[in-house]
């Protein structure tokens, strides 16, 4: 592995003319980047040709491959979440610019998405395997990740002209001609065996390959317009005014969603700083509508995390009532506070709890109108964004999660008053985490009944059309990446019967709930 430090000065990434047409590509302009007069450093990497001061016209530079080589060993150990590993690496390399970070990160995640496929091909060729994996990751990021000249392998290879050593150009060209159908299904679909088998049972043999293919592509960037400060039309105009290659379009289903075609750096925009929008997948946005909170109600987001769904719920409540954001992680709740400040919401109250049995929860028993349980899960529905999960998760780990999911759902159910609504949700595609938990909960809690998700979401869709993710055969809600273009989400809606009795958390006996909800309870601290 090379120990050469990358240059302190990052590439500007300025755009040149289109490279779609062969006669406009970098390779064509130089006739052959590997046969032209060239200069190389001690490691054999191409450096700036005579008379060229920098690589400002290149899409990928030698230092990008070097950084990837350094990053990969820890990334592929799967000891920690990939996003945490990448973030820590970038903190240690402050000289990297936004575009450098975007290309390195997208390349790293491309390697995780297609690990089986890339590893098999990287067993051939010259140089270290880390080097070969880095090149394949860069090729994927430039051709599929929206960071190159065009969504074509030949254009991406041209964008790598300054990175490639002798022989690597032809090696990448061979990769671009590999017939996927000739590969083993586990290699072709880049899944561990246990997950490939699970997808064969659900959704089934006919569609699992389509699902697997959809999970190998990076997810598009979705925004939720903060209706406390703007609307979707204004946000669309604002995003399209950014210029460059970016285009903003409405999401097809979520009424406040905006989809960005491209990878702009939004954290520095005036709209982000003013709280005009939040980055949130369209499926996650729809989950707030499944809870359907009303103004003035008392609502609990039981597993709030960093608060993406909390803020969406608060906007639907128009900052009225009281919205508790509960979580066992103080770090995640701390991340919610600046987001809440930008959002302009005043009804959100973050509360740290030590477990689902915290005494703070007991104080709210029988007083809450609606509860969302976005339960900890395997995350198999988010593999487009978190591809390391499929390599880090195991069947035994899923079984452990099932116990936790049921415990959390049972505890959350105690909060509801008669007639209150409980929504159980995951970002998983596995039935044992989804309908399996929902059905077991109903069997053990006769005081609750299932509410068809289609009935709840119908106002968002034409009356003669089944709402997205709903079925006439069951009451559940399920979104699929290969069908709906969203992350994979599951949702189950329960309602506590009006005549239900609740368990007194202190005495352990049943009693009729009589709640006056005109006044909000004291702040939970």
Q: Write out pLDDT tens, residues 41-87.
A: 444 444 433 333 333 345 889 999 999 999 999 999 999 999 999 99
Looking at residue 246, its pLDDT comes to: 81
Task: Give, as one character, the DSSP assignment of residue 163.
Answer: T
Cβ neighbour number for residue 36 with a 10 Å cutoff: 13
Nearest to 511 by CA among 462, 425, 447, 450: 447
Q: Which residues contact 320 (CB under 8 A, 6 or more apart)?
A: 295, 296, 347
Does the pLDDT at position 329 exceed 50? yes
Looking at residue 52, its pLDDT comes to: 33
133 HSE (CA, 13 A, CB side) = 27
Whether the Cβ atoms of residue 136 and residue 128 lie closer than 8 Å to each other: no
What is the b/e burial string over 128-139, where b = at least 16 CB atoms within 10 angstroms of the residue's CB? eebbbbbbbbbb
Looking at residue 149, its pLDDT comes to: 59
| E strand residue ranges, 361-429 | 368-374, 416-426
Does the pLDDT at position 175 exceed 50? yes
- Centroid of chain to Cα 343: 21
Burial class (CB in 10 A: 0-12, 13-18, 19+), 96: buried
| 3-state secondary structure (DSSP) of residue 425 | strand
Question: Once rounded to an integer, what is the mean pLDDT over residues 372-386?
Answer: 97
Q: Write out pLDDT tens, residues 446-473.
A: 999 999 999 999 999 988 899 999 999 9
Model confidence, pTM: 0.83
Does the pLDDT at position 30 exceed 80? no
Catalogue all structural domains in the chain, each as residue range(s) with its CATH number.
22-178 (no CATH), 185-214 (no CATH), 221-279 (3.30.70.1170), 283-511 (3.40.50.150)
Cα 399–415–289 angle (5° rounding)?
Answer: 80
Question: Once rounded to an integer, what is the mean pLDDT over residues 15-20?
Answer: 32
Cis peptide before 312 (omega within 30 of 0): no
Q: Which residues contact 37 (CB under 8 A, 6 or more apart)?
A: 49, 50
Does the pLDDT at position 6 exceed 80? no
Question: Once rounded to an integer, what is the mean pLDDT over residues 163-182?
Answer: 91
Token pair of 48 as six digits: 């700036």
Phi-psi sector, 59: left (phi>0), alpha (psi -120 to 50), beta: alpha
Q: Which 3-state string (H, E, C) describes 367-382?
A: CEEEEEEECCCCCHHH
Please tell me which residue, 399 or 143, carries the higher pLDDT value.
399
CA distance 140 to 156: 8
Looking at residue 501, its pLDDT comes to: 61
Nearest to 363 by CA among 212, 504, 213: 504
CA distance 287 to 489: 8
Does the pLDDT at position 523 exceed 70? no
Token pair of 118 as six digits: 């890339």
Question: Once rounded to an integer, what is the mean pLDDT over residues 147-151?
Answer: 62
Token pair of 339 as six digits: 């987001």
pLDDT level of residue 150 (50, 70, 90 thresholds): low
Residue 174 has phi, psi (to 5 degrees) of -65, -40
Lowest mean pLDDT among 15-29, 38-52, 167-181, 260-274: 15-29
**Mean pLDDT score of the chain:** 85
């Amino acid at each position: 592995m090379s120990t050469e430090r990358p240059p302190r000065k990052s590439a500007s990434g300025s755009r040149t003319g289109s490279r779609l047409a062969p006669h406009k590509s970098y390779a064509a302009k130089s006739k052959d980047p590997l046969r032209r007069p060239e200069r190389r450093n001690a490691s054999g990497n191409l450096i700036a040709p005579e008379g060229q001061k920098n690589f400002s016209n290149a899409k990928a530079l030698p230092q990008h491959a070097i950084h990837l080589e350094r990053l990969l060993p820890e990334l592929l150990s799967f000891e920690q979440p990939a996003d945490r590993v990448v973030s820590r690496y970038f903190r240690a390399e402050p000289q990297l610019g936004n575009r450098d970070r975007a290309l390195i990160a997208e390349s790293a995640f491309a390697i995780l998405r297609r690990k089986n496929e890339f590893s098999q091909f990287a067993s051939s060729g010259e140089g270290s395997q880390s080097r070969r994996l880095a090149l394949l990751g860069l090729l994927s990021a430039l051709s599929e990740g929206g960071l190159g000249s065009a969504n074509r392998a030949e254009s991406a290879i041209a964008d790598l002209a300054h990175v490639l050593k002798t022989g690597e150009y032809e090696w990448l060209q061979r990769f671009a001609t590999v017939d996927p159908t000739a590969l083993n299904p586990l290699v072709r679909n880049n899944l561990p065996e246990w997950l490939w088998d699970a997808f064969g049972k659900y959704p089934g043999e006919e569609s699992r390959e389509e699902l697997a293919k959809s999970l190998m592509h990076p997810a598009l960037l979705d925004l939720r317009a903060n209706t406390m400060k703007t609307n979707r039309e204004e946000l669309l105009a604002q995003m399209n005014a950014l210029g460059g290659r970016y285009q903003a379009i409405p999401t097809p289903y979520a009424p406040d969603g905006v989809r960005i075609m491209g990878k702009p750096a939004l954290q520095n925009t005036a709209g982000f700083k003013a709280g005009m929008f939040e980055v949130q997948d369209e499926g996650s946005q729809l989950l707030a509508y499944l809870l359907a909170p009303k103004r003035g109600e008392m609502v609990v987001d039981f597993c709030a995390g960093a608060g993406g769904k909390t803020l969406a719920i608060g906007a639907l409540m128009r900052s009225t009532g009281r919205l508790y954001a509960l979580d066992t992680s103080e770090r995640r709740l701390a991340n919610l506070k600046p987001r809440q400040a930008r959002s302009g919401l005043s009804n959100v109250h973050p509360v740290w709890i030590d477990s689902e049995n915290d005494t703070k929860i007991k104080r709210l028993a029988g007083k809450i109108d609606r509860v969302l349980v976005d339960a900890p899960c395997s995350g198999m529905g988010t593999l487009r964004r978190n591809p390391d999960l499929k390599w880090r998760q195991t069947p035994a780990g899923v079984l452990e999660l099932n116990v936790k999911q049921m415990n959390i759902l049972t505890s959350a159910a105690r909060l509801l008053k008669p007639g209150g609504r409980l929504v159980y949700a995951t970002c998983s595609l596995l039935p044992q985490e989804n309908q399996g938990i929902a059905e077991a909960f109903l069997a053990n809690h006769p005081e609750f009944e299932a509410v068809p998700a289609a009935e709840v979401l119908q106002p968002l869709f034409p009356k003669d059309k089944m709402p997205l993710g709903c079925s006439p055969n069951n009451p559940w809600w399920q979104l699929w990446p290969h069908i709906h273009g969203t992350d994979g989400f599951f949702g189950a809606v329960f309602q506590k019967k009006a005549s239900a009795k609740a368990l007194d958390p202190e005495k352990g006996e049943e009693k009729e709930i009589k709640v006056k909800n005109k006044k909000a309870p004291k702040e939970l601290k």
